[in-house]
Amino acid sequence: MRASAETEGPEVSGSKELVLRKKKAMGTLTEQMKQLVERQRLGFVATVCADGTPNVSPKGTLRVLDDERLVFADLKSPGTVRNLRQNSSIEVNVVDQFIRKGFRFKGHAEVLDSGAEFERLVGFYATLGLSDAPKKIQTIIIITIEHARPLVSPAYDYGAEEDAMRAQWTSYYLGD
């Protein structure tokens, strides 16, 4: 299940063809992807530190913004925000822990800390029940998806069925 088209052929800077190919390469979130993000609400965000090392941070405010973008509110993530200000590359993994399936979303992030869009999104989080959102939200991160790919446990390669996976991991996490 692939959510983005790969560009092919030589890229000619400034050409109309390049602009069209880049536009086609934008990620499109399927309904299945959107439902998973909204249901799970916890995404693991990977950024790149200034020294080139990876940084992974869980984000419990991850939401679908539209067909091509995800968003999360920075409540206490100075390292993630610092990394994104230096390098906008980002990957978010969202996985249903019970069936061991999910998606990885790669793209670029925009960091907002003021302005009309920032205020609108702070209001959005307030409507979702984030108490005192204007005081808690430091920045808003908007992720434009360039590639979306499935994440699937290798157990499925060996014949595992989804219902059996759900039963196994429900028992593991919640007990018998």
Are 84 and 93 within 8 A, CB to CB? no
Overall CATH class of domain 27-154+161-170: mainly beta
**CA neighbor of 71 nearest in space, from 97, 49, 38:** 38
pLDDT category at 176 given cuts 50, 70, 90 is low
Token code pair at residue 52: 């080139």
Task: Decide: 144 and 110 in contact? Cβ < 8 Å.
Answer: yes
| Residue 48 CB contacts under 8 Å (≥ 6 apart), including other chains | 54, 55, 83, 87, 89
Query: Going along 21-127, which residue ranges are E strands?
Result: 43-48, 54-59, 63-66, 69-74, 89-96, 101-112
Residue pair 27/147 in contact by the 8 Å Cβ criterion: yes
How many percent of the chain have pLDDT more than 70? 84
Of 94, 66, 111, the closest CA to residue 152 belongs to: 94
The C-alpha atoms of residue 87 and residue 171 are separated, in whole angstroms, by 41
pTM of the model: 0.81
DSSP E strand boundaries for the chain: 43-48, 54-59, 63-66, 69-74, 89-96, 101-112, 139-152
pLDDT tens-digit series, residues 23-34 = 444 458 999 999
Tens digit of each residue's pLDDT (9 = 90 or more) over 39-96: 998 999 999 999 999 999 999 999 999 999 999 999 999 999 999 999 999 999 999 9
Q: How far apart are CA 123 and CA 47, in angstroms?
A: 26
